Amino acid sequence: VLITPLPLPYDEKVVDSLQLDEFIDLSISKGKQPVVIFGGNWCPDCRILEGTLAMPTIKKFLQQHYQVMHIDIGRYDRNMDLMDHLNIESKKGVPRVVILDLEKNIMNSSTSSEWTTARDRKQQEIYNYFQKFLSNN
């Protein structure tokens, strides 16, 4: 069961490509796969996804295998260039989840926008999605 109120994971900060690259490098140096989630606190699907990721079983799994960075896209007027930096299409619709392997390859480019309908998804589906992209490195 999702705990309410749902989390507000986005901080309205502008992030530059150097900060994003540093996050990716630091995650990998810790042996964890980087996950970048683009979204905004105004987005119900972003908050539902985040609430699901905060559930104890899922949170424990993520902390063991992944490092997560939230990037606030404002009203599609902030940090949108970072999608281009990651070579994913910077179209509208959030949350956008980008999962990288330990060699900086995007593992889920074809499904990065899949969670724009997180409210219609079961928690188990979200958990399974992150399990599916766990790198074997």
pLDDT values of the chain reduced to their tens digit, one per residue, 137 residues: 788 889 999 999 999 999 999 999 999 999 999 999 999 999 999 999 999 999 999 999 999 999 999 999 999 999 999 999 999 988 889 999 999 999 999 999 888 888 999 999 999 999 999 999 998 64
The single-letter DSSP state of residue 10 is -
Q: Are strands 66-72 and 96-99 parallel, antiparallel or unpaired?
A: unpaired
Indicate the helix (H) or strand (E) that contains 38: strand 33-39
pTM to 2 decimal places:
0.95
User: What pLDDT score does 90 carry?
Assistant: 81
User: What pLDDT score does 89 carry?
Assistant: 86
User: Contact, 58 vs 72, CB < 8 A?
Assistant: no
Residue 5 carries which side chain, given as an amino acid letter? P
The single-letter DSSP state of residue 39 is E
